[in-house]
Amino acid sequence: MMRRCFMPMLLYSDSDCLYSIKNLSLGPKICDFFTGVYPQFAAGLTVSRVCVLVVQSGSPSSRRKPPAEVKIQIAGDRTNTEMAFAVSDELLGTFVPVAVYWLYSGLYIVLDAMGIDDDYRLHPKGEEATKNVVSKWTVVKGVLVQQAFQIAVSLLVFTIIGDESGIVRKQPPALLIAVQFIIAMFVIDTWQYFMHRYMHINQFLYKHVHSKHHALVVPYTFGALYNHPLEGLILDTIGGALAFVVAGMTPKTAIFFFSFATIKAVDDHCGLWLPGNILHVFSNNSAYHDIHHQLYGNKYNFSQPFFVMWDRILGTYMPYTLENRKGGGYEVRPIKLDLLAEQSKTD
Ligand SMILES: [Zn+2]
Ligand SMILES: [Zn+2]
């Protein structure tokens, strides 16, 4: 009788696992195969999220005849298939950023509930209710629909083009992962700049698609993904897939990259200028994106979510000053607005 064995991959480092196959059934044929391939030393076998260590003592007799001295060690031996639980990196890359979105937004909600953020607001307290044309409950529902749509698209894509070999790619060195992050950031920024700007230029797309995001004149964290599903598909899902492919990252790296991109997008909509926020190392930040959400900012600061490069190159960059507001908090004041308005009139 075949025996299936499962254990979480996390118990082993990738380097322990020389082989990776899916749905491994530990039986004489499999033992024979692996001892034939690696007769002299231990081979670590991963089965989806499962890692099985095969140790051989002595030399093999032949491929066809499995040597009796082969010993199979299964750390944390779990032979009950029904109890097995395995989650691929692709699935984690789909669901973890969604969880990160609400958790990170939740941190800001706690700050708000404690009143800690009052001195750091970019808009006076209560302005969300007077300037935004949708309620927070509508936004929550809209974001959940948007995320459900993105999850469905991701699962569909994985089903169609999924890698059934079960081979788990090894993580590259940290330096290469850092380079992949930077490449992915540039790819997403480039894709989103042109798509986002086009959604402002094309009146049909603006009216029926992108204006939904601009219902929030005063942005707040969990409004970051308040988009039309088509916008989410074009900007985020396709943009993310492009970045993933061009950067050549592994699905495991993608879990971290998309979580990071999610945190950045949420932070850009936080409506606060919190001291010590490490994400302010980016020129593209909550104050920069706040300008785009204002009525006057509709033609500026399209770049998102990482750099301001394309705005600078293509003349849509709106510099600003951050001034103390009477009554507390800050005010983002665009500069050269009049000058730019004059220029656009003469164009
Ligand atoms: Zn916009
Ligand atoms: Zn926005």
Phi, psi of 21 (to 5 degrees): -135, 160
C-alpha of residue 242 to centroid of ligand 2, in Å: 21
Q: How far apart are CA 303 and CA 300, in angstroms?
A: 9
Judge if 119 and 52 occupy the same domain.
no
C-alpha of residue 298 to centroid of ligand 1, in Å: 7
C-alpha of residue 272 to centroid of ligand 2, in Å: 14
Judge if 67 and 97 occupy the same domain.
no
C-alpha of residue 217 to centroid of ligand 2, in Å: 9
C-alpha of residue 261 to centroid of ligand 2, in Å: 13
Q: What is the pLDDT of residues 33-75, one digit of tens each?
A: 444 444 433 344 433 333 344 444 344 444 444 434 333 443 3
Judge if 69 and 108 occupy the same domain.
no
Mark which of 83, 111, 142 sits at the end of a domain: 83
Predicted local confidence at residue 228, as pLDDT:
96
C-alpha of residue 293 to centroid of ligand 2, in Å: 6
C-alpha of residue 263 to centroid of ligand 1, in Å: 19
- What is the tally of structural domains in the chain? 2
Q: How far apart are CA 235 and CA 101, in angstroms?
A: 17
Q: Could you tell me the pTM of the whole model? A: 0.74
Alpha helices in 81-135 (DSSP H): 89-114, 127-131
The DSSP secondary-structure symbol of 332 reads E
Q: How far apart are CA 226 and CA 185, in angstroms?
A: 21
Q: Tell me which ligand sits closest to the C-alpha of residue 289.
A: 2
Phi, psi of 118 (to 5 degrees): -60, -35
Predicted local confidence at residue 125, as pLDDT:
86
Judge if 111 and 23 occupy the same domain.
no
Q: Which two tokens stand for residue 144?
A: 């959940």
Q: Tell me which ligand sits closest to the C-alpha of residue 266.
A: 2
Judge if 136 and 69 occupy the same domain.
no
Cα of first residue to Cα of last residue in the chain, in angstroms, is 79
Q: Tell me which ligand sits closest to the C-alpha of residue 221.
A: 2
Judge if 108 and 27 occupy the same domain.
no
Mark which of 20, 54, 83 sits at the end of a domain: 83
Judge if 148 and 256 occupy the same domain.
yes
C-alpha of residue 279 to centroid of ligand 1, in Å: 21
C-alpha of residue 114 to centroid of ligand 1, in Å: 31
C-alpha of residue 134 to centroid of ligand 2, in Å: 14
CA angle 84, 88, 94 (to 5 degrees): 130
C-alpha of residue 213 to centroid of ligand 1, in Å: 7
Judge if 307 and 328 occupy the same domain.
yes
Q: Tell me which ligand sits closest to the C-alpha of residue 316.
A: 1
Instruction: Give the contacts of 180 (CB within 8 A, at least 6 positions apart).
Output: 172, 247, 248, 249, 253, 257
**Is the separation of the CB atoms in 330 and 322 below 8 Å?**
yes
Q: Tell me which ligand sits closest to the C-alpha of residue 196.
A: 1
Low-confidence stretches of the chain (pLDDT beneath 70): 1-86, 162-167, 337-347
C-alpha of residue 11 to centroid of ligand 2, in Å: 40
C-alpha of residue 210 to centroid of ligand 2, in Å: 10
Instruction: Give the contacts of 271 (CB within 8 A, at least 6 positions apart).
Output: 121, 122, 123, 128, 218, 219, 220, 221, 286, 290
Predicted local confidence at residue 167, as pLDDT:
67
Mark which of 83, 102, 131 sits at the end of a domain: 83
C-alpha of residue 269 to centroid of ligand 2, in Å: 6
C-alpha of residue 218 to centroid of ligand 1, in Å: 13
Q: Tell me which ligand sits closest to the C-alpha of residue 270.
A: 2
Judge if 61 and 159 occupy the same domain.
no
Domain range for 48 is 3-83
Judge if 35 and 129 occupy the same domain.
no
Judge if 108 and 190 occupy the same domain.
yes
Judge if 72 and 111 occupy the same domain.
no
Q: Tell me which ligand sits closest to the C-alpha of residue 264.
A: 2
